[in-house]
Structures are given as C-alpha cells and as structure tokens.
C-alpha cells in the first residue's frame, strides 16, 4: 500500500469519525431535552407521590385525632354522666336523710309533749275517773281491776286482756307505748277510792 493511499484512507477515516462524532452530538443534543423532560417528569411524579403520601398521612393523622377526640369526648361524657348520677344520688340520699332526721325530730318532740301531757294528766284522770276510760266500766276488784301499765296509764284488767299481745307486751291505748302485760300491778290508789 502506498503512502498516499494510506494517508487518504486515514483522512477518510478521520472524516468518518468526525461525522459519527457530529451525528452523536446531534443525537445527544436531540436527546438532551427529552432526558431533561424525563427527569422533570420523574421528579414531578415523585413530588406528586410525596405530596399524596404526605396528604394521606396528614389525612390519616387528622382521622386519628378525630377518633381520639371522639374517644375523649365519650369518656368525658360517661364520666360526667356517672358523676352527675352519683351527685344526684348523693343529693337524693342527703335529702332523704334530712327528711328522716326532721321526721325523727318531730316524732321525738311529739313523744316528749305526749309524755308531759300524760305525766300531768294521769293523776287527774285517775282522780276524776274511777271507771275504765277504755270500756267506761267502773273499776272493781274483780273483772275490772284497775291495772297500771309500764307507761303509768291505768286500764281495767278486762281491757288489758282484750289488747293485742306481742310476745309479752301490749301497746298502751293512751300513749301507744309498748308495755309488758305480765307485770301490771293493781292501781291501789283507785281501789281505795
Ligand atoms: Zn276497761
Ligand atoms: Zn300509756
């Protein structure tokens, strides 16, 4: 091969290389914006995904917080309901207690008054009434024996027998006090009259 031919071949090859280079450059130039666009789209997609993920996360968190609020609200509601119920029950109980106390106080007062009346009236009754105040029969030493009850009231033995018995006791027909009917001594004061 002659030198000249070799040289021309080298030139031709160089030209071919240059041409290929240029073609590659052109292709690269053409590809560049596509690649850029691809990158941009990829980035945007990622951003969109991130945004969606964040958005979803935020939404989920929001839902969770709503759930927590609901649970809290429900607990508060039940606690308040319970405490309200307890309060009103306590109030009811205290009101009832107060009523019972007042009733007891009134009963005690009434009882004391009755006792005072009885104590002041018993002598007078016995003095002025030699007959049983229940059956109006005159007292005697037989069937209408005057009997003194534990409370101090006197009735005849016939009436004492007729009283309802509870174990060994009867309720005095005057003061309702429960008295033992087994140990009722005769009222000697009346019998002497
Ligand atoms: Zn009587
Ligand atoms: Zn009595």
pLDDT digits (tens, 9 = 90+) for 45-102: 888 878 777 777 887 887 788 788 878 877 887 777 777 665 666 777 777 778 777 8
Residue 172: CB atoms within 10 A of its CB come to: 19
Residue ranges and CATH numbers for the domains of the chain are: 100-191 (3.30.40.10)
Distance 33 CA to ligand 1 centre (A): 131
d(CA 142, CA 157): 8
To the nearest 10°, report the CA torsion of 72, 78, 83, 85. Answer: 160
Distance 168 CA to ligand 2 centre (A): 16
pLDDT band at residue 155 under the 50/70/90 scheme: very high
Ligand having the closest approach to the CA of 151? 2
Residue for token digits 């029950």?
89
Ligand having the closest approach to the CA of 150? 2
Distance 122 CA to ligand 2 centre (A): 9
pTM metric for this prediction: 0.35
Distance 116 CA to ligand 1 centre (A): 23
């Amino acid at each position: 091969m002659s030198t000249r031919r070799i040289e021309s071949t080298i030139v031709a090859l160089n030209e071919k290389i240059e041409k290929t280079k240029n073609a590659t450059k052109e292709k690269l130039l053409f590809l560049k914006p596509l690649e850029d666009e691809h990158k941009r789209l990829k980035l945007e997609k990622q951003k969109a995904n991130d945004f969606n993920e964040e958005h979803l996360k935020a939404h989920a968190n929001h839902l969770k917080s709503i759930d927590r609020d609901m649970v809290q609200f429900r607990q508060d509601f039940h606690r308040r309901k319970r405490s309200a119920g307890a309060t009103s029950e306590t109030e009811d109980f205290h009101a009832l207690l107060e009523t019972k106390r007042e009733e007891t106080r009134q009963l005690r007062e009434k009882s004391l008054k009755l006792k005072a009346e009885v104590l002041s009236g018993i002598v007078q009754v016995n003095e002025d009434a030699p007959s049983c105040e229940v059956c109006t029969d005159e007292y005697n030493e037989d069937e209408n024996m005057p009997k003194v009850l534990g409370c101090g009231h006197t009735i005849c033995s016939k009436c004492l027998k007729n009283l309802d018995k509870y174990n060994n006791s009867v309720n005095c027909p005057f003061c309702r006090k429960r008295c033992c009917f087994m140990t009722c001594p005769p009222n000697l004061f009346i019998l002497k009259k």
